[in-house]
Structure 1
Amino acid sequence: MPATFIRRIASPKKAVTGLAVAAATAGMALTAAPAHAATTSSAADAKAIAKQMIPDSAQYNAFSKIVQHESGWDVDATNPSSGAYGLVQALPGSKMASAGSDWKTNAKTQIEWGLNYMNDRYGSPAGAWDFWQANGWY
């Protein structure tokens, strides 16, 4: 859309209506962007969330070691070979949807799923870390 066409409009509703009419005239479709949950953009943020969720220091340390090895605390980490995804490298990543629909971007959701997985399969993050040390995976 040329810059000369854009002008200041008094109300946001009129602006959206005007933009929709202009887009329709140009043969374009406007769609609403989906709402997204808050994302965690840094390893420090993810670690702080995990620390709050895992108050026992031994369990937090075990969880942290696994996450450091698996993803480097990168919420978006993807294993190019297996497709495992996220902080805890769930395979497939979509398993984490059981903890929340924002599993692709939200560290808290990924941590919650990872804790549940470690507790269910190994009894605790420490148990998962013991297994990881013996096998190089968990």
Structure 2
Amino acid sequence: MLEGNRVSRISVRGFAVASATAVTAVGAVTGVASGSTGQPSSDAEALASDSTLLADIPAGQQAQVQTASLTQQADAQAIAADASAKKDAEASARKQAAEDAVAKQKAAKKAEADAKARKEAETKASRASVRSTSFPVQGSYTIAQIQAMATQMVPSGQFQCFSNIVDHESSWNYKAVNASSGAYGLFQALPGSKMSSVGSDWQTNPATQIKWGLNYMDSRYGSPCEAWSFWQANHWY
């Protein structure tokens, strides 16, 4: 071997310890240098025993082998880091999705509770606003007189709905009787005697009937307007 081509020797075992990948790469170069056409061994210790062949690798190729080994190690570390980051991101996404679902469920329950509370408050306000006005007892009442009673007893925001129902049920005739069912009065109560819960004069006093009808709409539907919405959909209430 020429003096100008003399190369430094390296420790094969040092290569094996530094990187199994590097030793494999060195084995490939050794196979080329020795003329071998077989596959290089993956056993680092076996390659380390052949110190004579490895020592003859030119210094430049040794540097290339070392660089390749470091590059492979860096690539492997980068892949591992990417996999770990992806796993962490997926776990974080699952956790966030679960937290979002719980938050939405709580918000829905709160909205439902708030709506229920508002409805109850409106119902109480409607009932509280009903005036227990006393009207002089008469032998008979005109439609205008009955409607005047209703405007004083029914909350202003509910009166139109209330009036719509009475229009359809009895046309404001407080003595109206359904020939087939026997339903009676402004609201066609069935039986009519149920209106006695607010006054014994339910057959002859429109004010008593109005009080009963308003209480019925509030207790069953929440308000006259909700009762009217039901009536429009079903043609009864």
Could you tell me which residue of structure 2 aligns to residue 72 of structure 1? 171
Of the three residues 191, 212, 221, the one matched with 1:113 is: 212
Contact preservation (8 Å) 1:40, 1:107: no
Aligned Cα root-mean-square deviation (Å)? 1.1
Deviations 1:6-58 (A, max 9, x none): xxxxxxxxxxxxxxxxxxxxxxxxxxxxxxx53442111110000000132x3
Contact preservation (8 Å) 1:39, 1:107: no
Structure 1 counterpart of 2:151, which letter?
K
Moved more, 39-48 or 123-132: 39-48
Of the three residues 150, 153, 165, the one matched with 1:53 is: 153
Deviations 1:86-106 (A, max 9, x none): 001100000000110100010
Contact preservation (8 Å) 1:85, 1:92: yes
Contact preservation (8 Å) 1:78, 1:84: yes
The sequence identity of aligned pairs, in percent, is 61
CA separation of 1:106/1:39 partners in 2, compared to 1, >3 Å: closer, same or farther? farther
Structure 2: where are the runs of 5+ without partners? Answer: 1-136
CA separation of 1:131/1:45 partners in 2, compared to 1, >3 Å: closer, same or farther? same
Structure 2 counterpart of 1:43, which letter?
I
Structure 1 counterpart of 2:188, which letter?
Q
Contact preservation (8 Å) 1:40, 1:46: no
Structure 2 counterpart of 1:132, which letter?
W
Could you tell me which residue of structure 2 aligns to residue 136 of structure 1? 235
Structure 1: where are the runs of 5+ without partners? Answer: 1-36
Establish whether residue 84 from structure 1 lines up as the match of residue 183 from structure 2. yes
What's the TM-score, normalizing by structure 1?
Answer: 0.70
Could you tell me which residue of structure 1 aligns to residue 161 of structure 2? 62
Higher percent of residues as helix = 2
The number of equivalent residue pairs is 101
Distance in 2 (CA, whole Å) between partners of 1:109 and 1:77 is: 15
What's the TM-score, normalizing by structure 2?
Answer: 0.41
Of the three residues 38, 43, 46, the one matched with 2:143 is: 43
CA separation of 1:106/1:54 partners in 2, compared to 1, >3 Å: closer, same or farther? same
Establish whether residue 100 from structure 1 lines up as the match of residue 202 from structure 2. no
Question: Max radius of gyration: which structure?
Answer: 2
